[in-house]
Structure 1
Amino acid sequence: MDPYIAVLTGFGLVVLLTAWLPMVLRELPLSLPIACLAIGAAVFALPGVPGVPDTPPRPADHLEITERATEMVVIVALMGAGLKLDRALGWKSAALTWRLLALAMPLTILALALLAHATLGVDLAAALLLAAALAPTDPVLASDVQVGPPHEGEEDKVRYALTSEAGLNDGLAFPFVNLALALAIAADTGEPWLADWLLVDVAWKLASGLVVGVLIGRGLGWLTFRLPDRARLSSTGDGFVALGITAVAYGLTEAIHGYGFIAVFVAAVAFRAVERRHRYHATLHDFIEQLERLLMMALLVLLGGAVSAGGLLTALDWRVWLFALAAIFVVRPATAWISLLGCPRPAHERAVVAFFGVRGLGSVYYLAYGLGHAGFAVEAPALWGAAALVIVLSIVVHGMTVTPVMRALYRRGGDSRPGPP
């Protein structure tokens, strides 16, 4: 078969599965990411499949492509997460979120870095890079525990906290990734790094991401919803406008060396706030969600191929397994639980929030970014193996448990009404 025809046919199958699989899996203890991973592993493991390259996908061999591909799916997911939120992201309405960001995330990075240094034998800079890559809740793969589409009322406290956390902590992980890079470079050159890291990587990049996100979201929201009726842009009904907002917010922020991840999510929240109840938000969300699922499925198929044929998990030993199991079942649940102590929510709701710290394509992005910007040649195989195992375990464990756990939560009286936590 002509390879082009084979690839075209395969792409069509991926599109159909992207549309149909969520409906098929809705009542099962499975998820779309699990199916994507399994499909990729099977396709690349079978010999002679038409259109499948002889060389299996290996993220470490194509760092720039890996970085850009995962970057795209993450910013699309961040736009979708921001558009989902029916409630404003206020101090009281997002109390759980602020605790997770201010306490759970730094504690998670510290614990994972120490664990990686002790179990994997990597130096502190490499351990910090791995920890920062694995700490954020992934906005792409966490969709099953996030709030529903705009105006559909699926916004209980648990889903709201996990959605807003995933929207913000990807950008907030960047200072720690850059700290790991600064430590690695300073170890080779001896140059001072602390002042530059604090002023640029923390203060400037965070502030510029926030400010640009607000300005872009508010400005484009005003153009969309506040112009006179004859020029009311919201009447176009074009969902791909969401992609334009995403690209503009990300591009302008990165152009001034800010954190584009933060800008995209903040822009979505600010855009939504201009006219919160307008039906056009549902149109925008539907388009961006479909694009996100298509990109996610394609990348997870490749990740499955990297696992089964690319040797991503072949060099694992008991130390890597110890690190990965502790990251999923101990570190995130414990640090999130600590951060939520004293919060006036039932214990079972806090337990669900603590457990569902999903790891995924955002971690691949940060690892590819970090390895492409500093010399971690010796530690790179260990970092890729540990990160890949954590991601695969998260996809399987969280994907199989989310449906029964969320059902049990609602049976126990999980509050699905908007309001303060």
Structure 2
Amino acid sequence: MATAADGAALAPVTAIALVGVLGVGAQLWAWRMNIPAIVLMLAAGFVVGPVLGVFDPARDIGPVMTPMIAIAVAIILFEGGLTLNFKSLRDAAHGVLRLVVIGAPLGWLLSALALHYGAGLGWETAAVFGGIMIVTGPTVIAPLLRGARLSRRPAQLLQWEAIINDPIGALAAVLAFSVVQVIYTSADGAEAALQLGLGIVVALIVGAAAGALLVQSFRRGWVPEYIKVPLLFVSVLGAFALSDWVLHESGLLAVTVMGIWIANSDLPSFTELRRFKEHATVLLVSGVFILLTASLDLETLGTLTWRAAVFVALVVLVARPVTVFVSLLGTDLPWRERALIAFTGPRGVVLVAVAGLFGERLQEIGIADAALVGPLAFALVTVTVLLHGFTLAPMARLLGVAATDRPGVLLVGGSAWATALAEALKRAEVPVLISDANHLRLRGARELGLPTFYGDILSEAAEHNVELTQYATVIALSDNDAYNTLVTTDLAPEFGRENVLQIKRDASETSRHALPSTLGGRPFAQCATYREMARLLAEGWEFRVTGLTDEYGIDKWRADRPDAKLIATIGPRGTLRFPRDEESIGSGEGLRILHFSPAKKDRQPVPPDA
């Protein structure tokens, strides 16, 4: 089998371009194939690196690889901190506190025991590596949660635990290594303890100060809009470097604190900053995974024995579940949510990166079995990524803690015809929610037993009370064209522009009122307007669902109902699509179409409407 050393070196620019293409390409392919992106990223890096020898980061990129990974991890953790708004915690706050205060030290202890008795490592190496294993991997959790569509509370617990425990795990490894270093060398214990305490204090102060200074600068207008994102990046790098200079790995704590500070400051420009950071994080996560897997050495992996499998099994089946169940003992969390969290503990980039660093440091002071730290870290990451990548969503559905089995539709506007549409969707077993800021407009929906939300869908109350993960499509149907445009423009980045629709604007035909393509959503109901839909409903039109077959396709349906307005198609598994034109619909058993049409009065029989 080829190794990386067998191939010719790539130019640094070519190597970096290859990392980008493989990382983003793997994410795109995973989205198309509906499989976890992390699995494909691991496979892509492993194939081009150890297997084919096309790409060797140490050879092709050189000494800049380690600082590149360190900076990428810092930015990823900062972006994770930006997602941690204390207002969003609500009923999960107590569980998060327990997972950090109780779960981190308990997880450290149990991981060290698994390393010593399972993998056969000495206590020194087990103590250092066990501290790193507190980390549950924010780089892995985020894409997993995006695909699994969990209900709000377990998703919050997993996300907060992963991000907060990340720097704690790195600092735990620093603490354990400092103790080992004092034992194996002539280092002064008091000095090591002082340096550790000073590093943590400096990290907290630097992170909070950097966050506070940025917030004040943005709020008081000291920074022009086009400089905000570059300044944010530079500040993250500066805080990370300054804190890391005082104590290695403390920079991760500094940037996490910085992100949390900004997230809880109610900045007007926070949404734009966070979205840009999310885009950067997607690139960085992809790149780091490719770099780390491509750097693996097959010979080193070959040193693993059956004890590595025992170690991984102990971590997944014993250490993680015991840590979670003990930490959450006495809380009001349902057992189903506890079980999901207990058996969800993927490890990711930070574990591999930090484990490799401390493995080398332990070897330098004369601990031989530290050479196994890197291979064991990769084995744990690979197994947990594959395991949770393929089982998290099915397990969530099995335990009943998934947001929904079928992606639903969020209707904004509680008019009579919007209520009729919601009723038709409900009959077709498509989850639906009607939102309106006018309580009276929701009365008809409530009388029909339809789920409703009273309030502005863009409000903070909606963010806390509406589980948006249940819905894959947003349709703005209010009688206010400007509000419809605002809703679809604001929610498009979260749902995807293909999945936000709005009723046609009355004045959109004139050049004076036409909007650019960057605003608003896709047209709904074949470009019908609000007034037109209300008039047709008053004339007796109805929302109906009609099944299509190979014999009775879209052409025959259109011939039977030439005036009908096509709304959506419903696949055999309940998948809802809003096609742009009828040519893309096709036919086949189990396919149904939702349409708005007048009552059928002719004598010619047609397939029954549901």
Give the TM-score normalised by the residue count of structure 2: 0.58
Kept after mapping to 1: 8 A contact 2:240/2:255: yes
- Of residues 256, 262, 272, the one that matches 1:283 is 272
- Whole-angstrom distance in 1 between the partners of 2:120 and 2:321: 24
Distance 2:213 2:278 in 1: 23
Cα deviation code 1:91-121 (max 9, x no counterpart):
9762222111111111111111122122333
CA distance in 2, matches of 1:376, 1:412: 54
Higher relative contact order (CA 8 A, sep 6+): 1
* Secondary structure in structure 2 of the residue aligned to 1:379: helix
SS in 1 for 2:402: helix
Cα RMSD (Å):
3.4
Distance in 2 (alpha carbons) for counterparts of 1:245 and 1:145: 29
For 1:211, what is the secondary structure of its paired residue? helix
Q: Is the 8 Å Cα contact of residues 186 and 192 (structure 1) preserved in structure 2?
A: yes
Q: Counterparts of 1:284-363 in structure 2 under 5 Å? A: 284-307=273-296, 310-363=298-351
Equivalent in the alignment of 2:370: 380
Q: Which residue of 2 aligns with 1:418?
A: 464
Q: Aligned residue for 1:177? A: 173
Shift of 1:132: 1.3
Unaligned residue ranges in structure 1 (runs of 5+): none
Q: 1:12 to 1:337 in 2, by over 3 A?
A: same
Q: 1:198 to 1:2 in 2, by over 3 A?
A: closer
Distance across 2 between alignment mates of 1:238 and 1:17: 30
For structure 2, the 5+ residue unaligned runs are 1-6, 406-461, 466-610
1:139 aligns with 2:144: no
Relative to structure 1, the CA distance from residue 14 to residue 388 in structure 2 (aligned partners, 3 Å threshold; closer, same or farther) is closer
1:247 is the counterpart of 2:243: no
1:39 is matched with which residue?
44
2:301 counterpart SS class: coil
**8 Å CA contact retained: 2:360, 2:370:** no
The answer (yes or no) to whether the contact 2:46–2:294 under 8 Å persists in 1 is yes
- Alignment-derived partner of residue 157 in structure 1: 153
SS of alignment partner, residue 302 of structure 2: coil
Instruction: State the alpha-carbon separation in 2 of the partners of residues 121 and 2 from structure 1.
Output: 38
Q: Which has the higher strand share?
A: 2
Q: Structure 2: how far apart are the matches of 1:157 and 1:250?
A: 31
Distance 1:251 1:186, change over 3 A: closer
In structure 1, C-alpha distance between the alignment counterparts of 2:118 and 2:226, rounded to whole Å = 55
Structure 1 pair 362/66, CA: closer, same or farther in 2 (3 Å)? farther
Aligned-pair CA distance for 1:359: 0.9
Percent identity, please.
Answer: 23
CA distance in 2, matches of 1:314, 1:372: 18
> How do residues 74-93 of structure 1 correspond to structure 2 at under 5 angstroms?
74-88=73-87
Q: What's the secondary structure of 1:357's corresponding residue?
A: coil
Mapped to 1, the partners of 2:227 and 2:46 lie a distance apart of 39
Name the SS for the 2:163 alignment partner. Answer: helix
User: Is the CA contact 2:104–2:134 (under 8 Å) kept in the aligned structure 1?
Assistant: yes
Specify which structure has the higher proportion of helix. 1
In the comparison of the two structures, how many residue pairs are matched? Answer: 395
Q: Please report how far the alpha carbon of residue 323 of structure 1 lies from its aligned counterpart in structure 2 after TM superposition.
A: 0.5
2:256 matches 1:260: no
Show CA shifts across 1:292-330 (max 9, x none): 3323323322333344x5334212211111001211232
| 1:263 partner amino acid | A
The CA distance in 1 between the partners of 2:298 and 2:346, in whole Å, is 23
CA contact (8 A) 1:208 1:253 kept: yes
